[in-house]
Amino acid sequence: MNTKIQNIFSGKRQKPIIIAGPCSAETEQQVLSTARGIAEIGSVDIFRAGIWKPRTRPGSFEGIGIEALPWLTEVKKQTYLLTAVEAATTEHIEICLKHPESVDIIWIGARTTANPFSVQALADALQGVDIPVFIKNPLNPDMSLWIGAVERFQKAGIVNIGIIHRGFYPFVKSAFRNIPKWDLPLDMKCRFPNIPLICDPSHIAGKTEYLAEISQIAMNLNFDGLMIETHINPTQALSDAEQQVTPIELKELIEKIVIRQTSSENPDIRSLLEKYREQIDLIDFQLLELLAKRMNIAEAIGKYKTENKITVFQLRRWLNIITTRVEFGKKINLNEKFVKKLLQLVHREAIHLQNKNQNGENSL
Ligand code: PEP
Ligand code: MN
């Protein structure tokens, strides 16, 4: 058994599992210079590179395919890194299994996890094979799909399974490309405590500027590792250009992350304060997600009011909101003044959004 793989899936790691590499393998030079840059950092375990790319619409770059396999072989020769590619069809699986000199690990993409027929076909193709599989969460937050995918690969006899949290498709307007919904990966960790849980901040963020913050939250929440898209020349990337960092930026990012002791092995080490802070972090993000949802509905109401020539501000409705919320707030021990202030702030923003809809950008 490969000791590097054993180390990753042993459950005894003190430091995070780091997966890095380009969204897509594009050229031999791009793959090798990225891999060498990543290997120099020293703390990265796995080199990722998509060679078959799931693109939402046809016509964009769909990956290099098998031509990239020798490049990955070269990565393995020139660096200590393990290699991982996404497999979405049984043909992809067969090719990966035929080329152990190029591919060490397979990952299942978010679009595939959403389809139980595909997952079952892939699990069947891997029946009895000893290769590690990382499973990304499905695009939609239907946890049974993610759980089901883990179960299907477990039933096929895959021993080394990891799960990757890459966020969920935002049906509401969001700063992030995919909404983290942090409680869902943590539910998965509770259900599968021995399976490494990796966060993919790149696909959550969609932009490099949020990577550090998301990575730190994942570490605070005791994730076992990170998958960060890294490209030698991100602006020229053929896919996901906006979210990829250079190997040097990756090094800086990794160095800045504060790694705390993992609670699973040292339950007493983390202070109570830290545990409370993790809960607060989680709740803050949930609050923001809910606020975004509320604003979206307010905007939809705004459009309706404009179309039907109804005024934005409706006194009776507003008074009703204040009274019912303050009453409810009191019941759950919230300060009356605080609830009023908070609602005023939220209401003001909703009115602002609706006004923008009625009067264009120059309003209020
Ligand atoms: C990827 O990792 O490049 C990818 C396509 O991700 P996801 O399946 O999470 O969209
Ligand atoms: Mn990508």
48 close to ligand 1 (CB < 6 Angstrom): no
Domains in the chain: ranges and CATH: 3-256 (3.20.20.70), 267-359 (1.20.59.10)
Q: Whole-model pTM?
A: 0.78
For the chain (364 residues), the mean pLDDT of every run of 10, in chain order, is 91 92 98 98 98 90 96 98 98 98 98 98 97 98 98 98 97 88 93 96 97 94 96 97 98 92 56 79 90 90 82 81 92 92 91 74 42
Burial 132-165 (b: 16+ CB within 10 A, else e): bbbbbbbbebebebbbbbbebbeebebebbbbbb
Q: Are 135 and 114 in contact (CB under 8 A)?
A: no
Q: Are 48 and 24 in contact (CB under 8 A)?
A: no
Instruction: For residue 308, count CB atoms less than 10 angstroms from its CB and return exposed for 0-12, middle for 13-18, buried for 19 or more.
Output: exposed
Say what the pLDDT of residue 301 is.
86
Instruction: For residue 226, count CB atoms less than 10 angstroms from its CB and return exposed for 0-12, middle for 13-18, buried for 19 or more.
Output: buried
Say what the pLDDT of residue 298 is.
86
Ligand 2 centroid–CA 84 distance in Å is 13
Say what the pLDDT of residue 364 is.
39
DSSP H or E run through 272: helix 272-307
Whole-number Å distance between alpha carbons of 240 and 61: 11
Whole-number Å distance between alpha carbons of 147 and 141: 11
Ligand 2 centroid–CA 203 distance in Å is 6
Say what the pLDDT of residue 356 is.
77
Q: Are 17 and 225 in contact (CB under 8 A)?
A: yes
- Cα–Cα distances in Å, from 63 out to 22, 27, 93, 137? 12, 10, 16, 21
Say what the pLDDT of residue 361 is.
47
Whole-number Å distance between alpha carbons of 82 and 84: 7
Ligand 2 centroid–CA 229 distance in Å is 7
Whole-number Å distance between alpha carbons of 104 and 133: 9
**pLDDT tens-digit profile of 9-38?**
988 888 999 999 999 999 999 999 999 999
20 close to ligand 1 (CB < 6 Angstrom): no
Q: How many helices (H) and strands (E) does the chain have?
A: 14, 8
Burial 260-288 (b: 16+ CB within 10 A, else e): eebeeeeeeebeeeeeeebeeebeebeee
Which residue lies with its CA nearest to atom 10 of ligand 1? Answer: 110
170 close to ligand 1 (CB < 6 Angstrom): no
Residues 32, 34, 40, 42, Cα dihedral to 10°: -110
Say what the pLDDT of residue 362 is.
42
Say what the pLDDT of residue 317 is.
85
* Listed residue (175, 150, 153) closest to 164, CA to CA: 150
Is the CA virtual torsion 324, 330, 334, 337 positive or negative?
A: positive
Say what the pLDDT of residue 55 is.
86
Q: How far is CA 133 from the centre of its chain?
A: 17
